[in-house]
Amino acid sequence: MTISYIGLWKLLLEKGLQKQDLVEHAGLSSATVAKMGKEEPVSNKVLDKICKYLDCSVNDIISYL
């Protein structure tokens, strides 16, 4: 099973945000955002930070292929 963050990237676009905003405002490291850009898994803690920052659910930002 492969993870996809396409929902996250779409949500960022809809909100007029960039990946760098996740680093600056959601408390993620640039290495974590880079991992996500390569479709690599991240921890639930990271997903929680993103969801709190974007006011969304995990289902809005990830999908399994």
**CA angle (40 as vertex; 36, 45 as ends), nearest 5:** 70
pLDDT in tens, 21-34: 999 999 999 999 99
* 3-state helix, strand and coil shares in percent for the chain, rounded to the nearest 5: 60, 5, 35
Provide the 10 A C-beta neighbour count for residue 7: 16
Q: Give the CATH superfamily of 3-64.
A: lambda repressor-like DNA-binding domains (1.10.260.40)
pLDDT in tens, 26-55: 999 999 999 999 999 999 999 999 999 999
pTM of the predicted model over 0.85: yes
**CA angle (27 as vertex; 54, 35 as ends), nearest 5:** 85
Query: Domain boundaries in the chain?
Result: 3-64
